[in-house]
């Protein structure tokens, strides 16, 4: 066997191998090709086996030529395999029904009602100021909702709080009512505290959050159902200055250092003196709008606890004084979030609720 013959044979092995590979399109065909052209019994491999019979001069030349053919076939096989795989993937994608360009389905997150959010914030802020949370019932007696708070039967100030009565007159002058404010909780809390030590009742510093009800004409600022947060601080030597400081500090903590606030003289039977507490209206920048009227939004009433109320709670007004306030958390939320109608809160309109 002469050198040129083997070299020609190798060349034809290479050529026929590459020709056979060119038309292949499936994994099975490729495997069969590999068995025929690159397995141990394939023609190019048989040439390696024959090397031993060649002359020492021919051996390196033929060996090198055979190796080049083997490498060429292996390289071509690798390239063809990759191309076949890619083709198969493209076909699978083309026949697929999945449209990967469609937008994903939005994940719906649950969220807290804006009222819950503002209440939690208020609990936190008052907590930092040292107020504890005290709760009392929504169904009250006339006695606690009014009489203990210095509104005797027939008192004209009762007209300020149109009341839902919930009995048919069986209880005489002490009917059951839906509480019109959280102030009855002041008396419950003081009575409970003073009962622990009637001679020297302990100081009280609490907030009383809860739902209140009034039979009212509704408008942008008034609802028949609303939250209040009552505050009460009773102890020796508490002054109106403490009240002003507490509410001003609250407004700064809620709305920022530069918020403008004002106290307007007012009247409540259970505080003396009494005031209303206003915050500058952010909705209109203090110019006056449908929500605030004159550029200020009242967020609550306040005053020094009336001696009769202290006495009803078991505290001697000669030794103790106190301040109280009643805030409207929804009014605060309106200012905070720019909500221009209080009636949105309980309408359960998701377009409103989803904004918070």
**Minimum distance from CB of 172 to ligand PHE (Å)?**
24
Q: Over 181-228, what HEC string results? A: CCCHHHHHHHHHHHHHCCCCCCCEEEEEEEEEECCCCCECCECCEEEE
Whether the Cβ atoms of residue 132 and residue 185 lie closer than 8 Å to each other: no
**Minimum distance from CB of 116 to ligand PHE (Å)?**
21
Closest CA to 332 of 288, 285, 303, 297: 297
Residue with tokens 């959010």: 117
* 268 near ligand PHE (CB under 6 A): yes
From 9-17, 79-87, 288-296, 299-307, give the range in contact with ligand PHE by CB under 6 A. 299-307
**Minimum distance from CB of 271 to ligand PHE (Å)?**
5
Contact residues for 116 (Cβ-Cβ < 8 A; gap 6+): none
b/e code 168-199 from CB counts within 10 Å (16+ = b): eeeeeeebebbbbbbbbbbbbbbbebbeeeee
* 194 near ligand PHE (CB under 6 A): no
- Ranked by CB distance to ligand PHE, the top (closest) residue is 326
* 325 near ligand PHE (CB under 6 A): yes
Q: Residue 302 forms beta bridges with which residues?
A: 275, 325
Residue 274 or 321 with smaller CB distance to ligand PHE: 274
**DSSP alpha helix (H) spans, 23-141:** 27-38, 43-50, 58-95, 114-128
**Minimum distance from CB of 275 to ligand PHE (Å)?**
8
* 271 near ligand PHE (CB under 6 A): yes
* 226 near ligand PHE (CB under 6 A): no
Residue 47 or 324 with smaller CB distance to ligand PHE: 324
Residue 183 or 321 with smaller CB distance to ligand PHE: 183
**Minimum distance from CB of 168 to ligand PHE (Å)?**
26
Strand pairing report for 132-133 and 139-141: unpaired
Position among 17, 184, 209, 303 found at the interface with ligand PHE (CB under 6 A): 303
CA distance 176 to 280: 37
- x/- site string to ligand PHE, residues 150 to 189, per CB under 6 A? -------------------------------x-x------
Tokens of 254: 């809620």
* 80 near ligand PHE (CB under 6 A): no
Position among 324, 333, 334, 339 found at the interface with ligand PHE (CB under 6 A): 324
Residue with tokens 């409970």: 192
* 329 near ligand PHE (CB under 6 A): no
Number of residues forming the site for ligand PHE (CB under 6 A): 12
Tokens of 334: 């309106």
Contact residues for 179 (Cβ-Cβ < 8 A; gap 6+): 137, 138, 139, 140, 145, 210, 212, 213
**Minimum distance from CB of 329 to ligand PHE (Å)?**
13
Residue 147 or 183 with smaller CB distance to ligand PHE: 183
- Whether the ω angle into residue 43 lies within 30 degrees of 0, i.e. cis, is no
Residue 77 or 277 with smaller CB distance to ligand PHE: 277
* 302 near ligand PHE (CB under 6 A): yes
In the complex, the residues that contact ligand PHE under the rule CB under 6 A are: 181, 183, 230, 268, 271, 274, 301-303, 324-326
């Amino acid at each position: 066997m002469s050198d040129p013959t083997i070299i020609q044979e190798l060349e034809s092995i290479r050529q026929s191998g590459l020709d056979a590979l060119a038309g292949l399109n499936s994994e099975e065909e490729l495997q069969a090709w590999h068995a025929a052209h690159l397995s141990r019994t394939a023609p190019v491999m048989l040439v390696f086996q024959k090397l031993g019979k060649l002359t020492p001069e021919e051996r390196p030349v033929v060996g090198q030529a055979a190796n080049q053919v083997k490498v060429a076939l292996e390289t071509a096989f690798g390239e063809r395999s990759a191309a076949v795989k890619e083709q198969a993937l493209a076909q699978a994608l083309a026949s697929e029904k999945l449209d990967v360009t469609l937008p994903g389905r939005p994940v719906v997150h649950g969220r807290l009602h804006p009222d819950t959010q503002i209440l939690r914030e208020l609990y936190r802020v008052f907590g930092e100021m040292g107020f504890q949370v005290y709760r009392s019932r929504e169904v009250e007696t006339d006695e606690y909702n009014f009489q203990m708070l210095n509104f005797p039967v027939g008192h004209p100030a009762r007209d300020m709080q149109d009341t839902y009565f919930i009995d048919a007159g069986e209880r005489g002058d002490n009917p059951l009512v839906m509480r019109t404010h959280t102030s009855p909780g002041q008396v419950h809390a003081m009575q409970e505290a003073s009962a622990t030590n009637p001679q020297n009742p302990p100081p009280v510093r609490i907030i009383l959050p809860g739902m209140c009800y009034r039979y009212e004409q509704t408008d942008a600022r008034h609802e028949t159902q609303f939250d209040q947060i009552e505050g009460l601080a009773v102890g020796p030597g508490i002054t109106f200055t403490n009240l002003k400081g507490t509410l001003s500090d609250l407004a700064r903590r809620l709305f920022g250092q530069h918020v403008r606030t004002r106290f307007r003289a007012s009247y409540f039977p259970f505080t003396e003196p009494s005031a209303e507490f206003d915050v500058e209206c952010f909705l209109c920048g203090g110019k006056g709008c449908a929500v605030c009227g004159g550029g200020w939004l009242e967020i609550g009433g306040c005053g020094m606890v009336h001696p009769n109320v202290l006495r009803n709670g078991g505290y001697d007004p000669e030794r103790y004084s106190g301040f109280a306030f009643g805030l409207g958390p929804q009014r605060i939320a309106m200012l905070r979030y720019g909500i221009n109608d209080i009636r949105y809160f309980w309408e359960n309109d998701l377009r409103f609720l989803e904004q918070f």
